[in-house]
């Protein structure tokens, strides 16, 4: 499941989720939009916070725009 879809399905605001995983809202929004790819430690925190619903593979299909 894509992070954007997870947040929407759970009605979680980006700033709340970002705080929950220890990252900034700005970083989270870049990951959601595909502008940036999260580092492995961030992916692990996202995976844990979503109870496995969002995985590294869910980010693999996103294109990084530069």
C-alpha–C-alpha distance, residues 54 and 46, integer Å? 7
pLDDT, residue 48, reads 97
Asked, for residue 66, whether it belongs to a domain, the answer is no
Domain count, the chain: 1
Write down the pLDDT at residue 8. 97
The CATH number that applies at residue 13 is 1.10.260
Q: What is the mean pLDDT of each run of 10 residues along the chain (66 residues)?
A: 96 97 96 92 97 92 56
- Decide if 62 contacts 41 (C-beta within 8 A): no
Q: Would residue 31 count as lying in a domain?
A: yes
pLDDT of residue 63: 55
What is the per-residue pLDDT for 60?
80
pLDDT, residue 34, reads 87
The range of the structural domain enclosing residue 54 comes to 3-60
């Amino acid at each position: 499941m894509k992070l954007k879809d997870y947040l929407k399905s759970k009605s979680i605001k980006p700033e709340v989720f970002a705080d929950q995983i220890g990252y900034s809202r700005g970083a989270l929004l870049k990951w959601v939009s595909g502008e940036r790819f999260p580092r492995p430690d961030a992916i692990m925190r996202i995976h844990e916070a979503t109870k496995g619903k969002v995985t590294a593979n869910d980010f693999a299909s996103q294109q990084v725009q530069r």
